[in-house]
Structure 1
Amino acid sequence: MTDNTPRYSLTLLGLGDMGTALARTWLAAGHRLTVWNRTAAKAAPLAAEGALVAASPAEAVAANGLVVVCLLDDASIGSALDGIDLTGKDVVNLTTGTPAEGRARAAWAEERGARFVDGGIMATPTMIGAPEAGGYVFYSGSRALFDTHRAVLEVPAGARFVGEDAGHAALHDVALLSAMWGMFAGISHAYALIEGEDIAPKDLAPLLSEWLGAMGFFVGNAAERLTSRDFTSGVVSNLAMQVTGTGTMLRTAEEQGVSTELISPYVDLLRRRLAADPDVYGGEDTTGAILLLKR
C-alpha cells in the first residue's frame, strides 16, 4: 500500500477459515483491524500480524463504525450481538444464510439504528486476497453503506451490488451454488458410467470440460425464454425428442450398473412437462420445465 492510499478502520467478528482469510487481506493492505472470536486463541496469530483483539463483541463493535460479521450461522449473529448498541453502525453480514434470514437481519439492524448489507461470498478462503482467482462477494441492502465502504470491501475480493432487497445477495449466492451442484451431479454420473471400463478418467476429463463449455449457451437462452415466455421459437432439439433420448441415458446407466439417482429428478421433470400436454409442450425446448419447480 502506498502512502497516498487511504487506510480504513473496521471490525471483524468471526475468525473461522473465511474470517481469518478476510482479516489477513485487510491487515496486509495496511488497514486498522479490530477482531473478535468466541475462541480467543484463534486471534493470537492475527494479533502478531497487527490486529487489535477485542475481549468481547461489545468492545469490538464499539471500536469502529464499520462492523463485518462472518460467523457460523444466523443464530450466531444474534448470540454475539443481541443487546449491543448498534446505533450509527454500518453492519456488513458475510455469514452464510438464506434470503429470508438476510431480510430479517436487515430489519433487525435497522431497528437498532444501524445500516445493513448482507453478503454472499462466491469464493473459498484460498481465493480471498487473490484477485487472479476470480472470487467475489455479492452485496445487497443499503446502497449508501455499500457505496461508502466499497473500497475496503473490495480488498479481499471483488464486490458486486445486486440490489437494495437485503435478501438478494443470498439468493444470488444460492442460485449460483445450486447450478454448480447440479453440474457436479452430472459430472459425477458421467465418471460413474466409465468406472471399470478401459477409459481413463483423465482421458474423459478434457472431453467433459469441452462439452460443458459448449453447452453453456443454455444459460443465456433460458434467461431469454423465461423473460419472453416463448419456449418454441428457434428450437433445435425439442422436448419430445429430449424425453425420448432420456431412455437411452437411463438404459445405459442400468447396463453399466450405475444408479440414476443424480439424473432421474431432471428426467422426471421433463417427462412431467411433456405428459401434461404433448401437443402443446412437445415442440418446446426444455426451459419450460423450470416453471414446474415453482410451488
Structure 2
Amino acid sequence: MSSHIEQSGVTVLGLGPMGRALAGAFLDAGLRTTVWNRTPGRDRELVERGAVGARSVQEAVASSALTVVCVVNYDAADAILRRDAVTDALKGRTVVNLTADTPDRARDAERWAAEHGIPYLDGAIMTPTTTIGTPAAVFIHSGPKELYEEHRPVLDALGGTHTHLGEGISRAAAYDIALLDIFWTAMAGYVHALAVARAEGITARELAPFAMGIGAILPPIFEQSAEEVDNGSFSGEGNPMTSAASSMAHIIHASEAHGIDAGVMRAAEGMARRAIGLGHGGDGFTRIAEVLGR
C-alpha cells in the first residue's frame, strides 16, 4: 500500500449523491480523503479533485483513522463492514455511520463494533446534499462523547451544525426517525391538499402562499405542545379533540366526493376518535401521543 494512501485523513465508504457530497466537502477542507464505492467508476470526479480511489474496502479503511459510512441502509453497511478482512482492518479505527436506519440497527451496530474493538459513532444528516460543506448543513451524532470530540475537527469540515445528542448510540437514529415522521406526514398532507384543491379548481400556485401560512403557525404550536406532552396536561382549551375530529371528517368527505383517497386523513381521524372513545374528547390533539404510546 502506498504512502499516498497511508497519509489519508478520512475515508468515505459509499458514493451515492450524499456520499459524494461528504467526500467533496472533506476535499474542499484540504483533508486527505480516500473513497470507495461498491459500483466502480463513481469515484472518477472525486479522484480528479484529489481523492484517493481505494481498490478494496480493506485498503480504504486501513488508510485512515476515521471512516465515514453513508449508504442506503444498514443492510448495505453491514454487507460492506462485516467481512473478516474489513473488520480486521478496522480494529482500533473509528467508524462514523451516517447511514439512515432505525434505532434498533444502531444498537446492533454498536454491539458488533464493541465485539471487534472498533470505536463507533452513529449519526444522521438532516439536510439535502446541496447543504453539505455549507453553514446550512445539519448533522446529529450519538455515542461516546470523548470519541466524538476526538473526531470533531474532521467532522467540522462537513460544515453546518453538529450536535452530539448523548452517549446512547441510538439517540441520533431516534431523532432522525421522529423528525422524518414529521416531514413525511406533513408532505403527505400537502400533496393530498394539492389534489383536493385542484379538484376544486384551485392551482398549487394559488394555494401555496396560504399553505405557507399554515406552516408558519406550526412552530409555536410545536413548542407549546412539547410542554403539554412532557407534563401531561394536554389542554384542549380553544381546540378540543372533538372539534379536530369534526374538521377531519369534512376533509374526508370533500376528498372522497371527488374520488380522492383520504386514507391518511382517515388514519388521523381514527386516532382522534380512539382518544375520544377513551374519554379524552375535551383534551387537545396532543393527547394522542400519550394514547399511542400506551
TM norm structure 2: 0.90
**For residues 196 and 226 of structure 1, what CA distance do their matches in structure 2 show?**
37
SS at match of 2:15: coil
User: What pairs with 1:59-74 in structure 2 (closer than 5 Å)?
Assistant: 59-74=59-74
Name the aligned partner's letter for residue 99 of structure 1. Answer: P
Q: Partners of 1:282 and 1:75 in 2: how far apart? A: 43
Task: Return the offset for 1:139.
Answer: 0.6
How does 1:236-255 map onto structure 2 within 5 Å?
Answer: 236-255=238-257
| 1:3 counterpart residue number | none
Match of 2:75 in 1: 75
> Separation in 2 of the partners of 1:198 and 1:75?
45
Equivalent residue, structure 2, for 1:175? 178
Change (3 A) 1:256 1:38: closer
Contact 1:253 1:260 in 2 (8 A): yes
**Is 2:294 the counterpart of 1:291?**
no
Q: 2: CA distance between counterparts of 1:196 and 1:265?
A: 22
Distance in 1, matches of 2:242 and 2:276, equals 7
Q: In 2, Cα distance between the equivalents of 1:245 and 1:286?
A: 12
* CA shift digits 1:121-152 (9 cap, x unpaired): 11222221232xx2311111121121111122
* 8 Å Cα contact 2:106-2:170 kept in structure 1: yes
Deviation at 1:275, TM superposition (A): 1.4
| Shift in CA distance, 109/96, structure 1 to aligned 2, threshold 3 Å | same
Contact 2:199-2:258 within 8 A present in 1 as well: no
Contact residue 140 and residue 166 of structure 1 kept, 8 A: yes
CA offset at residue 38 of structure 1? 1.8
Instruction: Write the distance in 2 (CA, Å) between the matches of 1:53 and 1:252.
Output: 56
Q: Which amino acid aligns with 2:290?
A: L
How far residue 8 of structure 1 moved from its aligned partner, in angstroms, is 7.7
Instruction: Give distance in 2, aligned partners of 1:78 and 1:206.
Output: 45
Gaps of 5+ in 2: 1-6
**DSSP-derived class of the 2:123 partner:** strand
1:16, 1:71 within 8 Å by CA — same for their partners in 2?
Answer: yes
1:92 Cα deviation from its structure 2 partner: 0.4
Find the partner of 1:90 among 89, 94, 100. 94
Aligned residue among 193, 197, 201 for 1:198 = 201
Distance in 2 (CA, whole Å) between partners of 1:243 and 1:11 is 52
Distance 1:80 1:246, change over 3 A: closer
C-alpha contact (below 8 Å) 2:248/2:265 kept by paired residues = no
The equivalent of 1:39 in structure 2 is: 39
CA distance in structure 2 between the partners assigned to 1:152 and 1:54 by the alignment: 20
Q: Is the 1:69–1:91 contact (alpha carbons within 8 Å) kept by the matching residues of 2?
A: yes
Counterpart CA distance in 2 for 1:198 and 1:95 is: 42
Counterpart of 2:143 (choices 141, 144, 166) is 141
**Residues 70-123 of structure 1: CA deviation (Å, up to 9, x unaligned):** 223212323222213222211101122211111111121122112111111112
Q: 1:161 aligns with which of 164, 181, 191?
A: 164
* Residues 26, 33 of structure 1: 8 Å contact kept: yes
Taking only aligned residues, the RMSD between alpha carbons, in angstroms, comes to: 1.8
Find 1:124's aligned residue among 125, 128, 145: 128
Deviation string 1:44-95 (CA, Å, 9 cap, x unpaired) is: 2211111112211111111111111122321232322221322221110112
- Residue 162 of structure 1 and its aligned partner are, at CA, apart by 0.9
Contact kept in structure 1, 2:251 and 2:265, CA below 8 Å: no
The answer to whether the Cα contact below 8 Å between 1:123 and 1:135 also exists between their aligned partners in 2 is yes
Question: In the alignment, residue 51 of structure 2 is paired with which amino acid?
Answer: A
Deviation (angstroms), 1:11: 1.2
Residue aligning to 2:108: 104
Instruction: Determine if contact 1:185/1:263 at 8 Å carries over to the other structure.
Output: no
Give the C-alpha shift of residue 28 in structure 1: 1.2
Amino acid paired to 1:198? G
How many angstroms apart in 2 are the aligned matches of 1:254 and 1:19? 42
Task: After superposition, give the CA deviation of every residue in 1:162-187 in whole Å (9 maximum; x if it has no partner).
Answer: 11111111111111111011111211
1:263 aligns with 2:262: no
TM-score, with normalisation over the residues of structure 1?
0.90
